[in-house]
Structure 1
Amino acid sequence: MTGSSDYVVVGAGLAGAATAWQLTSRGHQVTLVERTVPASPDGSSHGSARIFRYAYPDPFYARAVAESRALWDTLSSEGGHDLISAAGAVDHGLGRQPALLAEVLADAGIDHELLPAAVARERWPSIAFDSDVLWHPGAGVLDAETAVTTMVGLAVGKGARLLTGWELHHLEQRATGYRLTSTTGETLDAGNVIISAGGWLPHLLGRLALPAGFLRGLPQVTVMQEQAFHFRYRDTGSAGTWPTFIHKAATMQVYGLPGGRDADFAGQKVAEFNGGSLIPSAAEQTGRVDPANRDRVVGYVRQYLPGLDPEPYAETTCLFTNTPTEDFIIDRVGGLTVLSPCSGHGAKFAPLIGRWAADLVTGSADIPARFRPTLSAGHR
C-alpha cells in the first residue's frame, strides 16, 4: 500500500501539475503520481518552446488567454522563473482569416495591428506573407518544461506528495472512494481522482471504473504523433527578432516559433499542424520522424521562410491528444475527473485549466459547460 490522499492527480504534465498547484494552494491534501518524471520527454509537456498567443477566431478562447496570462504572471512570481518570453505573433493566410482575428482581439481589448502584406514584409523580411497579417505583440514563447517543474515544486512545497515511476494500471471504486493500482502492484487510496494522462488517456479509459453512460458521453479522444523541425537563422544576428507565427496556406497549416534552449537558440521551430500520424495511444509512439512530413515542411520553409536555412539541423516528435472540436475535457462523475486539454493548443491555458479543474473537483465554482460534454449528453 502506497497510502491514501484526499485528491490524487494522475499525470505530471502541464495540466496535472497545474491542478496539483491549484489544489495545494487552497490547502488540500494532494498526491501527484507520474509514470516516469514530470514533463516526461515522451509526453506532451516537455521542452522549452510552446506558442503563447491570444489570436483565436472564437472570442471565448481569446478572453481565456487573457485570464490565463494573469495566472502565468502569478506563477512566475511565486516560482521565481520568467515562463513566457516576449516575441509577438503574426497570423496570415486567407484560411487563417486575419481580419476576423483582429475583430476578436479588438473586442477583447488586446493590442494588435492588421497590416497589408507589403507592410509586413518590410517589417519581417525573413517571412514571405501571402495575405494581410495580424500582429499582436503580447504573444510569446512559453517554457513548458520549466512551467511544469515550477508548478510541481510549488505544490510539493505546499505539502503535496510526488510519486514518480508510478504508472497507473487500473482504478476501482470502493465504498470510501477509489483505489488506484500501479503496473507494479502498488496501491493508493483516494477520495477524489483526477486523470490527466495526456496521450495515455485512450489506453486508460476502459480501466477507470467509469459508468457506461459517462463514457458514451465523452467525445472521441485521438492521439497524433507529430513532428517538429528546427531551421537555422541565415542571419545569426536576427535571433531574438523573429516572431511566432501561424500560417494557414492553401494546402497546409504551419506554425513556427523561436526554438529556445531545445535547439540551442539557433533557429526557428517549424511544424505542420496535425501533420503527423494517428496512433492508438502514447504507448504506441515510435519517435520516428515521417520523411514525407519532413519534405512538406522543408518545402514550406523554402517557399515562405527565406530567412531560414531550409535544411533542418534538429528534429523531434511530440504528441497531440485531440478532441473533434478541439475543446478540452474537464468532466466529472462521482469523485472521478477526466482532464484532457491539448488538441495542440492547451499549453497556454495550463494554470487556468488547473483552476477550472480545482473548481470542479472541489465544487467551489462552475466551469465552462463546453468542457463538460457528458452534461450536454445527459450523463452525470
Structure 2
Amino acid sequence: MKAAVVGAGVMGLATGRALKHRGHDVVVYEQFEPGHKRGSSHGRSRIFRLAYAEEEYVRLAQEALGLWRQLETETGETLLELNGLLEIVRSLDQSTAATLEACGVEWHRLDREEAERRYPIRVAEGSFAVLQPEAGIVRADKALATLARGLDVRYETRVHPDELAADVVVVTAGSWVNELLDDPLPVKVTRETVCYFRPENGRPIPSLVSFKPDSHTHDMYSLADPVHGLKVGAHHAGPEVDPNEPGEPEARLIEQIANWARETYRLAEPEPVAAE
C-alpha cells in the first residue's frame, strides 16, 4: 500500500514510522523546514506523564511509555528523562491520585517540607505535592530526528491530499488541518508563550503542574530544559491566531509566567533568560 502522511510533527513522523514497519510504502510531507517553530512539536523538551484525570488517557500513556522505551532500544537514543511529575494541590481530590491508583500507577504524597527538600521548589502553606515518578520530559527535538530516520520526509513541500497519488492519506497537520479537509474539525489555534529560567543548581527538575482554584484544570506548568534548566508556560492562555501569521511572545504572559516561576521555584536568576 502507498501511504502519504501530511505533516511531519511528532504525530506524523510516528505514523510514518509505524506504517513503514508494517511494510507499506510511505512518504511524509512537511510544509516547513526540519525543526521549525511554527507548529507544536518543536523545542528541546516536552512533558511526558502518566498523570491524567481520565483512565483512558492513563492507559494510553502507559502504552506510550512502552513504545518510547522500544524506540530507545531500537535506535540507541535516550529520549525520556524521568525526574517525575509533581501536582501541587490542597487536597487529593484536586490531583490525579485516584485515577493513578485505579490504573496501578505508582504515586506518592509529599508534604510541603519533603517536596522542598527534594526539589528546588516552593510549596505554599496548606498545599502539598503528589509525585508521579514515571514522568518528566521527552527530548522533543531528538525524538523528531529519531522518528524521521529511514523515512522519506519531503520538507518544505506544501501539498493537498487531493494532489497525492497514494492509496491512503493520513493528515497530521495540526493547526493547518482545516485547510486540508473537506469537513472541518473543531480546532482552535492559539499561540502560546513559554519562558526559560535558570534554577538553583544541584537538584533534579521535575515536571510540575498547578491547578486553577476549585477546578481540575491545569493553570501553570513547568518542565526541565536541557540548556537553561527550566521551561515554564501558562496552560492554554495564548490568543487565538491564524497559524500562517508569525507572532511574538505575549508580554502579559511573560509577566504572568515570571511571577509564577519566582513564587514556585528557587531560581538562580529571577528574570527569564529567554522567551518564545
State the TM-score, normalizing by the size of structure 1.
Answer: 0.67
Cα deviation digits, residues 288-334 of structure 1 (max 9, x gap)? 11111111111112222234532000111xxxxxxxxxxxxxxxxxx
Residue in structure 1 matched with residue 205 of structure 2 by the alignment: 242
- Superposed CA RMSD in Å reads 2.2
Q: Which has the larger radius of gyration?
A: 1
Please name the residue that 1:112 is paired with: 107
Structure 1 residue runs without a partner (length 5+): 173-179, 181-187, 317-380
- Tell me if 1:163 matches 2:154: yes
1:192 pairs with one of 148, 159, 168: 168
Shift in Å, 1:118: 3.8
Map of 1:285 onto structure 2: 246
SS in 2 for 1:224: coil
**1:21 correspondence with 2:17:** yes
1:61 and 2:49 equivalent? Answer: no
Q: Distance in 1 between matches of 2:58 and 2:75?
A: 25
Is the CA contact 2:120–2:265 (under 8 Å) kept in the aligned structure 1?
A: no
Partners of 1:97 and 1:35 in 2: how far apart? 44
Which residue in 1 is equivalent to 2:224?
A: 258
Helix, strand or coil: the match of 2:33?
A: coil
Local SS of the residue matching 1:226: coil
What secondary structure, in the 3-state scheme, does the structure 1 residue paired with 2:52 have? coil
Deviates more, 1:127-136 or 1:17-26: 127-136
Q: For residue 202 of structure 2, what is the amino acid of its counterpart?
A: G
Residues 323-375 of structure 1: per-residue CA shift (max 9 Å, x gap)? xxxxxxxxxxxxxxxxxxxxxxxxxxxxxxxxxxxxxxxxxxxxxxxxxxxxx
Q: Do the aligned partners of residues 7 and 95 (structure 1) sit closer, same or farther apart at CA in structure 2, a change above 3 Å counting?
A: farther
Report the secondary structure of 1:189's partner residue. coil
Query: TM-score, normalized by length of structure 2?
Result: 0.90
Distance 1:291 1:193, change over 3 A: same
Cα distance in 2, alignment partners of residues 312 and 113 from structure 1: 31
Residue 93 of structure 1: aligned partner: 89
Deviates more, 1:67-76 or 1:241-250: 241-250
User: How many Å separate the matches in 1 of 2:87 and 2:188?
Assistant: 27
After superposition, the C-alpha distances for 1:218-237 in whole angstroms (9 at most, x for unaligned) are 4x10111001101112x333
Classify the secondary structure of the residue corresponding to 2:195: strand
Higher helix share: 1
Q: Distance in 2 between matches of 1:171 and 1:8?
A: 8
Conserved in 2, the CA contact under 8 Å of 1:12 and 1:33?
yes
Verify the 8 A CA contact 1:12 1:37 in the aligned structure 2.
Answer: no
Deviations 1:43-99 (A, max 9, x none): 211112101111111111111111111111111111221110121110013499455
308 and 221 in structure 1: CA distance in 2 versus 1, 3 angstrom threshold: farther
Hey, what does 1:321 align to over in structure 2?
A: none
Contact 2:122–2:265 (CA under 8 A) maintained in structure 1: yes
Could you tell me how far apart the structure 2 residues matched to 1:308 and 1:271 are?
Answer: 18
Paired residues in the alignment total 272
Q: Matches of 1:96 and 1:200 in 2, distance apart?
A: 39
1:255 touches 1:271 (CA, 8 Å); kept in 2?
yes
Whole-angstrom distance in 1 between the partners of 2:111 and 2:100: 17
Deviation of residue 243 (structure 1)?
Answer: 1.0
Pairing 1:5-44 to 2, within 5 Å after superposition: 6-44=2-40
Q: CA 1:309–1:9 in 2, change beyond 3 Å: closer, same or farther? A: same
The alpha-carbon distance between structure 1 residues 296 and 97, as it changes in their structure 2 partners (threshold 3 A), is: farther
